[in-house]
Amino acid sequence: MPSTSTIVTCAVTGAVQTPSMSDALPVTAAEIVEQAVAAHRAGAAILHLHVRRPEDGYPSGDVELYRPVIEALRSQTDAILNITTGGSTQMSLDERLAAARHFQPEIASLNMGTMNFDYSAAAKRVTHWKYDWERPYLENSRRVPFVNTLESIEQILRSLGSLGTRFEFECYDVGHLYTLAHFVELGLAKPPLFVQAVFGIRGGIGADHANLSHMQLIADKLFGDDYVFSAFAAGRHQLAFGLHSAMTGGHIRVGLEDSLFLGPGELAGSNAEQVTQARMLVEGLGKRLATPQEARALLRIGEDGAPRR
């Protein structure tokens, strides 16, 4: 359903980029909080969160590393917190789910299918490695699949859904929309569905604008008015896909999780810089950014009566 205000999600650090790729990538809890607060002030209503080991930036699912981040963001902002259940493609399911189970956020990400998810190409561009784990970690992504079976999706929907958490349904291909429709039929995925369409992952649908139009066409057929569309592309096409989404009444995701850049060859200095770029594009379209309260209303967060942040 087209919206007059645009929700910006900022995915602050993720698990695909590694510290050698950019000094701006936040690693410690203090860095993640500082950048997340600034991104929120710049206009991000939703903060999509991962954490890393402070000593070397290795992606982690440790609840104790999440704790200072979640506590600080809950006290310092009104942002909607979205805790990943994708973690890293190389974590076990239990490790991926621990933080969302523990903190019961307003939103958790939910990846809608098993797929190849190859982010090894970035390793070829790094000349100086800060940490020994980075290169083999990146290269391993070409070897191991990102496992999201129907059974595990159902388990996440049942366990987190029963706690009142809603979902960012990450759809990396058209087939993932049909998988989502299956869970709507089962009554486990509840409208309005927050569909985050992801383009340009090696293993998923390509960063071609015709694909975005097709994803919207199929989502319209499957879900009618029962979904809220958002989009991004990994890497250099990140914001172009957000713009395409906003132009067609959808929403935007930015953040260093998915792209380290502001423009060709220009590294972003922070997540907030990307949010500011998104704000300028949205305002250029004659629209405005959704506040967290407007985003909660659009996504019907908190309507089950359970207070959560």
Stretch that binds Zn ion, among 9-17, 22-30, 177-185, 263-271 (CB under 5 A): 9-17
- Torsion of Cα atoms, 17 then 19 then 20 then 25, to 10°: 80
Nearer to ligand KMH, 5 or 152 (CB): 152
Per CB under 6 A, which region of 25-33, 69-77, 78-86, 237-245 contacts ligand KMH? 78-86
Among 86, 113, 161, 250, binds ligand KMH (CB under 6 A): 86
Candidates 234, 243, 290, 298: give the one binding ligand KMH (CB under 6 A).
234
Cβ proximity to ligand KMH: between 39 and 234 the closer is 234
Three-state DSSP string of the chain: CCCCEECEEEECCCCCCCHHHCCCCCCCHHHHHHHHHHHHHHCCCEEEECEECCCCCCEECCHHHHHHHHHHHHHHCCCEEEECCCCCCCCCHHHHHHHHHHHCCCEEEEECCCECCECHHHHHHCCCCCCCCHHHHHHHCCCCCECCCHHHHHHHHHHHHCCCCEEEEEECCHHHHHHHHHHHHCCCCCCCEEEEEEECCECECCCCHHHHHHHHHHHHHHHCCCEEEEEEECHHHHHHHHHHHHHCCCEEEECCCCCCEEECCEECCCHHHHHHHHHHHHHHCCCEECCHHHHHHHHCCCCCCCCCC
Stretch of 27-35, 67-75, 80-88, 184-192 lying at the interface with ligand KMH (CB under 6 A): 80-88
Among 14, 43, 113, 242, binds ligand KMH (CB under 6 A): 14
Pairing relation of β-strands 59-60 and 51-52?
antiparallel
Question: Is residue 113 part of the contact set for ligand KMH (CB under 6 A)?
Answer: no
For residue 192, is the peptide bond before it cis, meaning its omega torsion is within 30 degrees of 0? yes
Partner touching 118 among Zn ion, ligand KMH, none, CB below 5 to 8 Å by kind: none
Name which of 106 and 170 has its Cβ closer to ligand KMH.
Answer: 170
The single residue among 16, 100, 180, 205 that binds ligand KMH, judged by CB under 6 A, is 16
User: Binding segment for ligand KMH among 11-19, 128-136, 209-217, 244-252 (CB under 6 A)?
Assistant: 11-19
Residue 5's nearest CA partner among 285, 221, 241 is 285
81 vs 93: CA distance, rounded Å: 20
Asked whether position 9 contacts ligand KMH by CB under 6 A, the answer is no
20, 111, 165, 277: which one binds ligand KMH (CB under 6 A): 111
| Residue 31 found at the interface with ligand KMH (CB under 6 A) | no
Binding mask 36-75 for ligand KMH (x = CB under 6 A): ----------------------------------------
Residue selected from 31, 106, 118, 257 as contacting ligand KMH according to rule CB under 6 A? 257
Residue in 21, 198, 275, 295 binding ligand KMH, rule: CB under 6 A: 198
Sole binder of Zn ion in the list 6, 9, 35, 84 (CB under 5 A)? 84
Q: Which of residues 84 and 238 has its CB atom nearest to Zn ion in the complex? A: 84
Compare residues 1 and 163 and give the one whose CB is closer to ligand KMH: 163
Nearest Cα residue to 256 out of 26, 6, 7:
26
Instruction: Give contact residues for ligand KMH (rule: CB under 6 A).
Output: 11, 14, 16, 84-86, 109, 111, 170, 198, 201, 234, 257-258
Instruction: Give contact residues for Zn ion (rule: CB under 5 A).
Output: 14, 84
